[in-house]
Amino acid sequence: MVRQHVNPLSRFYQLPRPLPPPAELFAHPALPLHLDIGAARGRFLLAMAQREPRWNHLGLEIRRPLVEAAEADRQALELGNLRYLFGNANVSLESWLRALPAGLLQRVTIQFPDPWFKKKHHKRRVLQPELVLALADALAPDAALLVQSDVLSVIEPMVAVIEASGCLERPTDDARPWRDGNPLAVPTERERHVLAQGLPVYRVLYRRNGQPTPPLHQLRQHVEATLEQSPEAADNPASDPATP
C-alpha cells in the first residue's frame, strides 16, 4: 500500500468539524488520555488500547476511509477506551484541546507524518506553530509528546518549532539528537517497515515543563526564518516508499 496524501489546505479539509468531548467518547472518560495525531489505519492505537486498559486512546486522522476501517476494528473488539475520529488537526483540534479537563491529556504522539518536501508545501505539514501551542496548553505537567519520522527534512522542523516554544523539553538522560529506541511498547506499521529495511528512525521525546507558552507571532517568526535559511527541497521518491 502506498501512502495516500490529501491536501489539508483544500476547502473540504478546512471546514471545522466539532469533535465530541471525552465524556461522549469513552466508557471511563476520567482516565488519562493518549492522543495520536495522524493515526492512519489505527493499528498502533488498537494495540496500545489493549496493552494499556487504564488509559483512554484517541486517534485523529484526516483520511476518512482509514478512520472508518479503524473504527470497525475497534467496535469488533468492543474497546471502550479507544476511539478514532476524522478531522484536520490544524482546524478542529485546537478548540477541542481548550475544552479538555485540566490534567487529562497525558501523552501525545505524532508519528511519521506525511512528508511535504517542497517549501511551498510546508504549510500542509501537521505540526504548525498554532498546534504546538495548543498542545502545550493542554498537556498536563510532565506529560509526554513523542515525535517520530524516517525523514530528516520532516523531523528537523518539528523539533525546531517544539523547542522554540520553550515549554517542552527533552529528558536530561535522552540521547541527542535522536533517541536510541522507542519509549512506547508498540511500534507503528511504518516504524516496523523502516527498521526492517535497516533504515534509521529519528525520534524525540518531550515532557511538558512549567514554562508558559509564548506568543504565537514569536513561533511563526521562528518558522519563517528557518524556511528562509533552507533551500527548497526537491521531491524525493525514495523517502516515501510503499508501506505494508
Active-site positions?
Answer: 114
Q: What are the Cα distances from residue 116, in Å, to 4, 62, 171?
A: 12, 15, 29
Closest by CA to 37, choosing from 79, 100, 89, is 89
| Measured CA angle at 145 (ends 111, 159), to 5 deg | 75
Q: What are the Cα distances from residue 160, in Å, to 127, 163, 165, 200?
A: 11, 5, 9, 20
Measure the CA–CA gap between 109 and 36, rounded to whole angstroms. Answer: 5
Measure the CA–CA gap between 94 and 106, rounded to whole angstroms. Answer: 16
Q: What angle in degrees, to the nearest 10, is found between the helix axes of 129-138 and 89-98?
A: 20
Residue type, 194: V
Please name the residue that has the C-alpha cell 511551498: 120
SS3 state at 148: strand
Query: Which residues touch 232 (CB under 8 Å, ≥6 apart)?
Result: 118, 119, 120
Please name the residue that has the C-alpha cell 533517541: 179
